[in-house]
């Protein structure tokens, strides 16, 4: 209940109450008197009369002042307000049910979730409505959805669909639900029952526009609130990897949306089945951070942090990206650094391995000079690129051991390569001996070159390019390449790519448990336009994956929110990547061909989504998390408050006190008149 004044400035008229006081003070008897004869006897009578008049004057003064005060009070237009009853439903014969199945409705209370309690209430409402009442049913979780496309009198159907509703991971789309309700009603009057917990910092605020439109149409929006008492929830709101001791650290922030401080256990799960547990104390309606130290070597991918909280279990786990901790899996040996970065032999190769410059691609490739080959280790590396290296002889034995233990070496040619420094020291690795450089076009040619033959997509290396991507290889033209000695193809040696004249472009040899690939042209644009073609990036990515390594660009990292469309830009061309959900199931995705290629999909559950080619290592990882605002189960604004702000008379009752004050003035004037009649002047 509240009290207010519509014209508070009128209270200034209260100064008029001083009038009766001044009038009474002016009625004084003379101070200079002369006693004589009979007056002495009369004074006693006068004193007796004055005593009687003084009592009556005070009452009269009070009545007059009170009358003036009531006049002033009435001029200020006082109003008394108090909450009224919510409108009843079913009167128009049209009822639309809005059931909140967002994540916050998954709070447990009394052995059941809030969504189950709302669902049961809605079922009882439908069962209690008279036959023939037209019904609509809409859910609010994620994007609001009509469970009945239009109004229906089939109550059994509505009950059946009500009973199938359960809390999901989406946010509360109250605005969308009210919009659907307005569309179903089609401008007709009706009742909209909203079964919700009203949780979230902006849930009701975002819906005020749609709420106002329904109210303007004369539709009664009736909240049916279900709340946990007390409301408690603890959630992980962020997890970030950063530098630190050993393999770095992960800083975790935990938020407490309850009214009491709590202590909770946190479990950090890393790729490779490593788990670390710690305890954190979180103040009431506050947050706290905990830092985990990461081991020196951890595979890259999507990690998670789980808080052990029983209030709302749907948001207990948060997923985040963790780069590969430890040395790079790919070593690139730059045989011709160049005077500027773009002149470097490995400029294009490095960007093909890490298209995003390492910002979203796990680890970056390890770029070294030829001397850096001495740090090659089968425990830390999987693939080595030799890019126009003049003399690999010093590390030849190390390279041979590396390949025999399961590593892979890709050898690119160039102006620094001399056959004598390769054929002897690397005879155990090369698919065949190399010879001198040869010109595939005339020396006076300014452009052009010999194209590549289309690869066979039956080979595992080229299987992902079964569609338009295969034709992209024909756009690669080469001006110069290395002659190689004739060789016999078999299980150990085979040609993977050829030039249009039949000469080999890419040759593979199996050595022990590893492989060696010889690219007879350069890995930069000196002898070929391959690095400038769109197929170069996906081909290098695929090549590294085929050889068993993990390039930095092969694990691009994206974040997404459950229930919201995610758009991924991938440095692929002509391929058809798939999206796999955390349970290993194929996700419906939209592929937009272009450069870069776009993949669009909507995650439905939190966790790690993998994007890649069938049967191949992922091209990208997506860490999908629940909407952060749904973890905040506190109520900031209610539907009733929003309705009252839009149209106050809907849920409030008012009483104007001005007429009553004027009536009091009349009563006081009558009392003054009666008092004057009873007293002789």
Quick: pLDDT tens for 116-137: 999 999 999 999 999 989 999 9
Q: List own/partner pairs for 200-203 with CB under 8 A and 24 or more apart.
A: 200/104, 200/171, 200/172, 200/629, 200/630, 200/632, 200/633, 200/636, 201/629, 201/632, 201/634, 201/636, 202/629, 202/636, 203/172, 203/174, 203/629, 203/636
- Of 641, 672, 569, give the one whose Cα is nearest residue 86: 641
Distance of alpha carbon 166 from alpha carbon 384, whole angstroms: 52
* Selected residue with higher pLDDT from 571 and 235: 235
Residues 242 and 185 in one domain: no
264: phi then psi, degrees, rounded to nearest 5 = -130, 150
Residues 404 and 537 in one domain: yes
Q: List own/partner pairs for 20-23 with CB under 8 A and 24 or more apart.
A: 20/61, 20/64, 20/65, 20/68, 21/61, 21/65
Question: How many Å is the maximal CA-CA distance in the chain?
Answer: 163
Residues 504 and 370 in one domain: yes
The residues facing 430 across adjacent strands are none
Tell the residue number behind the tokens 């452009």, with chain if given: 447
Distance of alpha carbon 108 from alpha carbon 468, whole angstroms: 52
Distance of alpha carbon 234 from alpha carbon 263, whole angstroms: 10
- Asked if the structure places residue 323 within a domain, the reply is no
Q: At what angle do helices 208-216 and 174-185 cross, to 10 degrees?
A: 20
Domain residues for the domain of 641 are: 94-230+635-650
pLDDT average, residue stretch 332-339 = 89
Residue 422 backbone class (left: φ over 0; alpha: ψ -120 to 50; beta: rest)? alpha
- Of 475, 457, 465, 471, give the one whose Cα is nearest residue 575: 465
pLDDT average, residue stretch 91-99 = 87
- Residue-wise pLDDT for 557-574, tens only, equals 899 999 899 999 887 666
Residues 18 and 41 in one domain: yes
Distance of alpha carbon 237 from alpha carbon 500, whole angstroms: 57
Residues 514 and 393 in one domain: yes
Query: CB of 642 within 8 A of CB of 211?
Result: yes
Instruction: Tell me what percent of the residues of the chain surpass a pLDDT of 90.
Output: 50
pTM of the model: 0.60
Q: What is the CATH number of the domain that holds 479?
A: 3.40.50.880
89 confidence band (pLDDT: 50, 70, 90): low
Q: Which two tokens stand for residue 664?
A: 């009091």
Residues 57 and 101 in one domain: no
Residue 365 DSSP label: P
Instruction: Using the predicted structure, report yes or no on whether residue 81 has a pLDDT greater than 80.
Output: no
- Residue-wise pLDDT for 141-181, tens only, equals 989 999 999 999 999 999 999 999 999 999 999 999 999 99
**Average pLDDT over the chain, rounded to an integer:** 84
Distance of alpha carbon 598 from alpha carbon 266, whole angstroms: 36
Tell the residue number behind the tokens 């890490």, with chain if given: 354
Q: Percent helix, strand, coil in the chain (nearest 5)?
A: 30, 30, 40
Q: Which two tokens stand for residue 511?
A: 């050595």
DSSP string of 53-106, one letter each residue: HHHHHHHHHHHHHHHHHHHHHHHT-EEEEEE-PPPPSSSSSEEEEEE--SGGGG
Distance of alpha carbon 156 from alpha carbon 127, whole angstroms: 9
> What's the structural domain count of the chain?
5
- Of 319, 316, 317, give the one whose Cα is nearest residue 107: 316
Q: What is the 3-state secondary structure (H, E, C) of 3-18?
A: EEECCHHHHHHHHHHH
pLDDT average, residue stretch 83-112 = 79
- Point out the domain boundary residue: 267, 295, 318: 318
202-216, 393-407, 547-561: least confident range: 547-561
- Asked if the structure places residue 63 within a domain, the reply is yes
Residues 427 and 338 in one domain: yes
- Asked if the structure places residue 89 within a domain, the reply is no
Residues 457 and 372 in one domain: yes
Helix, coil or strand: residue 248: coil
8 confidence band (pLDDT: 50, 70, 90): low
Query: CB of 223 within 8 A of CB of 639?
Result: yes
Report the residue count for the chain: 681
């Amino acid at each position: 209940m509240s009290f207010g004044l519509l014209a508070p400035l009128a209270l200034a008229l209260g100064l008029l109450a001083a009038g009766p006081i001044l009038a009474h003070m002016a009625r004084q008897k003379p101070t200079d008197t002369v006693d004589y004869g009979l007056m002495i006897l009369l004074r006693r009578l006068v004193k007796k009369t004055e005593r009687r008049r003084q009592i009556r004057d005070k009452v009269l003064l009070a009545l007059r002042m009170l009358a003036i005060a009531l006049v002033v009070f009435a001029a200020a237009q006082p109003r008394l307000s108090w909450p009224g009853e919510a409108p009843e439903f079913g009167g128009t014969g049209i009822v639309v049910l809005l059931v909140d199945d967002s994540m916050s409705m998954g709070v447990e209370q009394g052995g059941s979730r809030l969504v189950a309690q709302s669902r049961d209430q809605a079922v009882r409402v439908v069962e209690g409505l008279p036959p023939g009442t037209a019904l609509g049913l809409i859910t609010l979780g994620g994007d609001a959805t009509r469970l009945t496309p239009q109004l229906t009198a089939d109550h059994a159907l509505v009950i059946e669909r009500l009973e199938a509703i359960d809390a999901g991971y989406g946010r509360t789309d109250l605005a969308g639900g009210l919009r659907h309700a307005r569309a179903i009603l089609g401008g007709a009057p009706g009742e909209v029952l909203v079964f919700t917990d009203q949780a979230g910092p902006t849930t009701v605020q975002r819906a005020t526009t749609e709420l106002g439109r329904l109210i303007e149409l004369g539709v009664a929006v009736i909240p049916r609130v279900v709340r946990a008492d007390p409301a408690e929830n603890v959630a992980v709101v962020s997890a970030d990897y950063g530098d630190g001791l050993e393999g770095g650290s992960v800083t975790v922030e935990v938020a407490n949306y309850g009214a009491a401080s709590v202590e909770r256990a946190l479990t950090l799960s890393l790729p490779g089945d490593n788990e670390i547990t710690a305890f954190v104390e979180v103040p009431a309606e506050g947050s706290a951070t905990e830092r985990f130290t990461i081991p020196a070597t951890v595979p890259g991918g999507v990690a998670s942090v789980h808080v052990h909280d029983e209030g709302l279990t749907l948001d207990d786990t948060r997923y985040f990206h963790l780069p590969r901790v430890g040395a790079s899996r790919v070593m690139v040996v730059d045989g011709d650094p160049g005077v500027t970065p773009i002149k470097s032999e490995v400029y294009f190769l490095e960007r093909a391995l890490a298209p995003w410059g390492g910002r979203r691609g796990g680890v970056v490739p390890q770029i070294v000079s030829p001397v850096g080959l001495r740090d090659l280790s089968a425990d830390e590396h999987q693939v080595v690129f030799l890019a126009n290296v003049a003399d690999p002889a010093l590390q030849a034995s190390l390279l041979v051991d590396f390949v025999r233990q399961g590593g892979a070496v890709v050898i690119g040619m160039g102006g620094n390569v001399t056959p004598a420094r390769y054929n002897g020291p690397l005879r155990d690795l090369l698919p065949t001996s190399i010879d001198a450089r040869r010109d595939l076009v005339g020396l006076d040619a300014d452009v052009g070159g010999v194209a590549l033959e289309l690869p066979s997509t039956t080979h595992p290396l080229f299987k992902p390019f079964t569609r338009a991507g295969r034709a992209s290889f024909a756009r690669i033209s080469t001006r110069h390449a290395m002659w190689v000695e004739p060789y016999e193809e078999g299980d150990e040696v085979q040609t993977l790519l050829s030039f249009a004249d039949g000469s080999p472009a890419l040759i593979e040899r199996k050595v022990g448990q590893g492989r060696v690939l010889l690219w007879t042209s350069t890995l930069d644009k000196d002898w070929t336009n391959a690095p400038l073609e769109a197929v170069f990036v996906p081909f290098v990515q695929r090549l590294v994956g085929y050889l068993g390594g993990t390039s930095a660009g092969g694990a691009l990292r994206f974040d997404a929110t459950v229930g919201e469309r995610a758009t991924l830009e991938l440095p692929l061309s002509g391929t058809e990547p798939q999206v796999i959900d955390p349970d290993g199931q194929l996700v419906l995705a939209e592929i937009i061909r272009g450069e870069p290629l776009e993949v669009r999909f909507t995650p439905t559950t939190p966790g790690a989504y993998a994007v890649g080619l069938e049967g191949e290592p992922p091209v990208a990882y997506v860490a999908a998390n629940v909407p952060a605002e749904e973890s905040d189960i506190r109520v900031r604004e209610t539907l009733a408050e929003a309705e009252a702000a839009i149209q106050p008379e809907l849920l409030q009752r008012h009483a104007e006190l001005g007429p009553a004050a004027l009536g009091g003035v009349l009563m006081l004037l009558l009392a003054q008149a009666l008092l004057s009649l009873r007293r002789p002047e």
